[in-house]
Structure 1
Amino acid sequence: SKSIEWSIYFCVLNYMFNHSRKIRPAFYGDPSSLRRRFFLCGVAHAIFMPFLLFFVSLHFFMSNIYDWRSTKEYLGPREWSAIAKWKFRELNELNHLFERRMEPSYKSASAYLEMFSKPSPLAVAVGRILVFVSGSLGTLLLVFAAINDAILLHVKVGNWNLLWYAGVLGASFSIGKALLPKSNNPYYCRSRRNMMNDMSVELEKVASHTHFLPDSWRGKGWDDKTKKEFSAMFQY
């Protein structure tokens, strides 16, 4: 995490080099000082952890509420881990150039991992039923509202008026849409595809941005081991 990364910088790197960019003799000659700095960082983390947890949770919710609504990514968008960025970054590459090079890689990396997520046929069937039924009944209620909006308020079916049913149908429609696969899902496209080859091609497309493609990944984008190693670098 960023807090651990900051702690390492503060405890180790800030005290390792002098103004001449040489290792200070006191750094490796006084291990008790390093131990003391780690202890102070641990105490600071313990004290501020409740406040940091609240702030991070609030920031995560406010930053990703639109993505939850539009893309149904309930765990938030994936990001390259700090270790992955260290591997991808080239020697003496400036930060803004690195970020510009990495920007297109997020879309390609997400597309690669989506190729492994085959939707459940049962979930797709349930989603289509919910969308069809709730959409049809919702359209009927919309027609009633266009004729006379008082119908939704005063006409009751059971113990609830039609406006309550309109809300239930809207929620059912949203749930059904969430269960349906995306339009670009490779498992539900009309043309037949060679998924194993497409996975390797998509992985190479990611590598064209990251400049990182180990020999064990070449031509094995379909392999579960490759997918696990890739997912460890591209995390929620």
Structure 2
Amino acid sequence: MRGLDAYERALWNWVNVYNLDAFLQETYYYYEGKGIYSIALSRGLNLLTVGFVIGFSTFLLGCVDYSRIRHDQATRLSDVVVSRCVSRFSGFTLLLFMLFVAFFLWQFLAYVMSVIRLMDMYSFYTYLLRIPDADIQTISWPEVVRRIGAIREENPLTAISSAGTASVTAKLDAHDIANRIMRQENYLIALFNKELLDLRIPLPPLLRRWVGEEEGKGRMLTRVLEWNLRFCLMEFLFNRSGKVRRIFLNSRNRPQLIEGLKRRFIFMGILNAIFAPLIVLYLLMYSFFRYFEEYHNNPSNMSGRRYTPFAQWKFREFNELPHNFARRLNESSPTASLYIGQFPNEKVTIIVRFVAFIAGSFAAVLLLASVLDPDMIVHFEITPHRTVLFYLTLFGSILAVARGMIPEENRVFDPEMLMTDVIQYTHYMPDEWKDQLHSKKVHQEFGELFQMKIVIYTQELLSVLLTPFVLWYSLPNCAPAIIDFFREFSVHVDGLGYVCSFAVFDFQRHGNVKVGCFS
């Protein structure tokens, strides 16, 4: 490529694209990330965050002698810091530390490689699409798609088209690009819509009777489990070129594929069980550093809500790009919060009002005392080693959380109207909800999809420990249905190759003119 200018190098990269799906996905994520500088900065700071969590956690857990602090033997940080602390680690602790360091180095190498790819994408946007980095934040995605289509028409011969594959044509329109970007996600959306994935946690019979059966096939989907599903299913269905493997299209291969998928689930279950302690430790330390300041300054955020990962897959539409989907959810969240507040638990409200009154009374007295005597706030101990400042912070936090749980007195009660507005955004309304939008049952079911943030966070932590059991016991039983689904709902489209049949909106094939629409 020596002697080529920037435009010619960008054109050479375009002509030599071998995996058009992956290239268009990188093109979209470059647009969604707002350009090379924003993406590189975001990923670089994420890398530094990982390094900081590992380094600071190691320092706090292994390099500080807390016994000296408790016995008032030290007045300076240097008095409690253990010199050469890493060399004093036990064998197991040193192994954990080395694994974390290896993970950080792997992340660093991945970051360097991603920056190289970003530079190629920067050239593609700047010199071929004529979109400078400063304009990416304001240009619309349809305009980017239009320019990609124009480039394809001007340069139809690429490494793919010249290879003689019948699945590629010169034309690239908005539908083709969306189908290529969302090819894998469309299969996952269909799997969740058809409820083929058993996400239930396997419990012993006695514990199951005490806890109760999960409704349907379970709704506890977390980011950890979602990543495992992507690896086990999508890496199995698609080859390195991003195309559906032909072996899935022949029913004679069904027994072999079922056993292969079961082995993948079980293998990932074992792998997750091995690394679960490391992941839990990292998540605990990261979450402490990440959320302590937020909840300390605004404790009422603990009662805030957002859509669960399971809800997001249920609400997602075929070929819907992430930025459009995120906009729908963001627009629905305020109304969804108002709807949830339409069904206050009167008994809980009465208790919370009492707690708020008690906490507010103590906080008011301590605050008044601090105003009258400012030295009291840090020197006067209410209990041993607990000053006025400690209890003022404690009661203030309790008061803020309690007030956040008390419904507004002037709130208008009309849950049916609010849920109707929410449905306009989520496009989700099961048949059993019809004529029942005012009911407590709908409120409870929607509340499971629009959960409190603290509940979602707790589920994410527990999922690290529970995911191995779901992968080992629950999901292997779904393998026959999943393999049949891949075979029966994969269709060939000229110019695209094999895609999920739901993504082409073939209403005659699926026998329902409402496929892809909410009812």
TM-score range, shorter chain: 0.7 to 0.9
Determine which of 221, 228, 231 is the counterpart of 1:10. Answer: 231
- How many residues end up aligned between the 2 structures? 222
Residues 131 and 177, structure 1, Cα contact 8 Å, conserved in 2: no
State how far apart, in whole Å, the 1-side matches of 2:225 and 2:383 are. Answer: 56
Aligned twin of 1:72: 300
Q: CA deviation at 1:230?
A: 0.9
1:144 matched to 2:373: yes
CA offset at residue 169 of structure 1? 4.3
**What is the TM-score of this pair, normalised by structure 1?**
0.73
Distance of aligned partners of 1:214 and 1:39 in 2 relative to their CA distance in 1, 3 Å threshold: closer
Aligned to 2:363: 134
Instruction: Name the stretch that deviates more: 40-49 or 124-133.
Output: 124-133
Query: Cα offset for 1:139?
Result: 2.1
Opposite residue 357 of structure 2, the aligned amino acid is R
Does the aligned pair in 1 maintain the 2:310–2:449 contact within 8 Å?
A: yes
Separation (CA, whole Å) in 1 of partners of 2:446 and 2:268:
32
Which amino acid in the other structure matches residue 254 of structure 2? Y
Match of 1:99 in 2: 326
Report the more deviating stretch, 169-178 or 1-10.
Answer: 169-178
CA separation of 1:143 and 1:219: change in aligned 2, threshold 3 A: farther
2:178 alignment counterpart:
none
Counterpart residue type for residue 207 of structure 1: I
Match runs of 1:23-172 below 5 Å: 23-24=246-247, 25=250, 28-30=254-256, 31-69=258-296, 70-74=298-302, 77-118=304-345, 119-132=348-361, 134-145=363-374, 149=375, 164-165=387-388, 167-172=390-395
Query: For the residues of structure 2 that align with 1:215 and 1:128, how far apart are their CA atoms?
Result: 44
Contact in 2 for aligned 1:11/1:38 (Cα 8 Å)? yes
Distance 1:158 1:81 in 2: 42
Q: Which amino acid aligns with 2:228?
A: S
Task: Return the match for 1:199 from 415, 418, 421.
Answer: 415
> Quick check: 1:88–1:211 contact (8 Å CA) kept in 2?
yes
The Cα shift of 1:27 comes to 5.7
CA distance in 1, matches of 2:357, 2:445: 35
Instruction: Tell me how far 1:131 sits from its aligned partner.
Output: 1.8
- Structure 1 pair 177/232, CA: closer, same or farther in 2 (3 Å)? closer
Map residues 210-221 of structure 1 onto 2, 5 A cutoff: 210-218=426-434, 220-221=436-437
Query: Partners of 1:32 and 1:153 in 2: how far apart?
Result: 66
How far is 1:172 from its partner? 3.0
Structure 2 counterpart SS, 1:104? helix
Seen in structure 2, the aligned counterparts of structure 1 residues 114 and 100 have a Cα distance that, compared at 3 Å, is same
Amino acid at match of 1:128: F
1:167–1:36 distance in 2 versus 1, CA, 3 Å: closer
Q: Deviations over 1:36-87 (max 9, x none)?
A: 322321221111111111222333333433453314354x754423332223
C-alpha distance in structure 2 between counterparts of 1:3 and 1:170, whole Å: 35
Does 215-224 or 98-107 show the bigger shift?
215-224
Whichever residue aligns with residue 7 of structure 1, its letter is N
Q: Structure 1, unaligned stretches of length 5 or more?
A: none
Task: Note closer, same or farther for the CA distance 1:14–1:27 as it changes in structure 2 (3 Å cut).
Answer: farther
- Look up the equivalent residue of 2:401 and give its one-letter code: A
Q: 1:17 to 1:141 in 2, by over 3 A?
A: closer
Q: Distance in 2 between matches of 1:80 and 1:158?
A: 42
Q: Distance in 2 between matches of 1:99 and 1:5?
A: 18
TM-score (norm 2): 0.37
- Partner letter of residue 131 of structure 1? G
Q: How does 1:180-191 map to 2 (within 5 A)?
A: 180-181=403-404, 185-186=407-408, 188-189=409-410
Q: Does 1:21 align with 2:244?
A: yes
Output the aligned Cα RMSD: 3.5
Which 10-residue stretch deviates more, 205-214 or 136-145?
A: 136-145
- The residue identity in structure 1 corresponding to 2:300 is K
Distance, in Å, in 1 between the alignment partners of 2:422 and 2:327 is: 14
- Which deviates the most, 106-115 or 225-234? 106-115
Instruction: Judge conservation of contact 2:352–2:402 (CA < 8 Å) in 1.
Output: yes
Give the percent of matched residue pairs that are identical in Structure 1 and Structure 2.
25
Gaps of 5+ in 2: 1-221, 457-519
Judge conservation of contact 2:433–2:442 (CA < 8 Å) in 1: yes
CA distance, structure 2, for counterparts of residue 140 and residue 40 of structure 1: 62
Structure 2 Cα separation of the partners of residues 217 and 176 of structure 1: 37
> Match of 1:21, SS?
coil
User: Radius of gyration: which is bigger?
Assistant: 2
